[in-house]
Structure formats: structure tokens, C-alpha cells
Amino acid sequence: MSEAGLKLGYKLNRDDYWSAQVRILRQGPWRAVMIALGLWMISILVGSFYVMQTGPKWTLVGSVYAALYGALGLTLLAAGVMRWVGRFKLNRALRHSDAGPLAPTTLDVGAEGISWADGTTQTRYAWSAIERVEVTGRLVLLYSSPVQAIMIPRRVFGGDEAMLAFVASARENISAAQRGR
């Protein structure tokens, strides 16, 4: 970025926000939950085949395995329910157009980093805190963790040239900050 920096004011719409959330959540810990669910289902299948072959014998070890499978199943069910409830609450919050992530946002970009502010929150990120920049069909995503990103609609740049210049400059600043660690 130049010394003068860049100041963007924008407001996300619901479609932009949901497309970013889907993209971000695909990269998050839900992969681990899905792998655990698959392993749990395979172990139940193998266990039921074993019981069919040997007959239903309840031993202490078998009871412990059954309890562990039940606990894992309940944990996965609770994780799924928590995700559903969280999504339901977020959907309800998004009905208010100026609430949460859909609030009007100001982004100040400078040589030291980024300052992001909405109606109630202001956060500063040094360039070294940004992990990567990703461009989608609708958004530029500045990831501060694998499951958290600053979402900037492409439309606020006015054109692809300005957006590509911003992305190149951001990537250069991130690289320079990470080399300087």
C-alpha cells in the first residue's frame, strides 16, 4: 500500500455473507467432525457384523465399547445440533439489516496493517496477523485464522484492476511482514 493508504466503506449483503461463510466453514473443523462421524458409522457396522457372527454376548469390554460408541454418537449429535442452533440464531440476527456482520463497515488499509470497524466493534490487524488473501466471485477474503476472515465485497473496488492491485499489495505486505517476524 502507499503511505496514504486506502479507506473503504461498505455494507455486506446477505448473499455475500452466506457465500463467504460456506467457503470459510468448509475449511474449518467440520471436516474433523465428518471424518469422526464416518469412522463411528464404520465401527458400528463392523461391530454389528461381529455381534451377528458371535451372538449377543455382553461382557464388560463389550459394555465399555458400547458406552464409548454411544458417547461418541451423542457428542457428534450435540455438535450437529449446536451448529444448527448457531445457524438459526445467526439467520434471525441477519433479519435486521444493520446488525452483526451486515452492519456498515469501514476498512482502513495502511502500511502497518488493517483497521476494521463496524457500528460497535473496531479491530486492528498487523499485516503479520493476516494468514492469506483469497478472491472469490463476490468477495476478497483476508484470513486472520483458518475459520475467520474479513469480507470485502469486490464491488467496492470499482473494477477488477483496482481489486487486483489491492490483492497484490496486500499479499506483498503479508509476505514482507511474515519475513520480518
**Across 33-43, average pLDDT:** 73
Residue 78, CB half-sphere, CA atoms under 13 Å: how many? 6
Q: Which pLDDT belongs to residue 172? A: 92
* Mean pLDDT lowest among 97-111, 125-139, 148-162, 164-178: 97-111
What is the residue extent of each domain of the chain?
6-24+97-179, 28-94
Evaluate if residue 110 carries a pLDDT over 70.
yes
CA distance 40 to 68: 10
Q: In what order do the strands lie in the sheet with 113-117?
A: 6-10, 105-109, 113-117, 122-126
Cell of 84: 444448527
Evaluate if residue 168 carries a pLDDT over 90.
yes
Tell me the pTM.
0.60
Class of domain 6-24+97-179: mainly beta
CA distance 8 to 106: 6
CA distance 5 to 133: 18
171: pLDDT confidence band, cut at 50, 70 and 90? very high
pLDDT of 84-109, one tens digit each? 777 776 666 666 555 566 677 888 88
Q: Which pLDDT belongs to residue 29? A: 62
Q: Are strands 132-135 and 148-153 parallel, antiparallel or unpaired?
A: unpaired
pLDDT of 112-123, one tens digit each? 888 888 777 788
Across the chain, mean pLDDT equals: 77
pLDDT of 50-73, one tens digit each? 666 666 666 777 667 777 777 777
Evaluate if residue 136 carries a pLDDT over 70.
yes
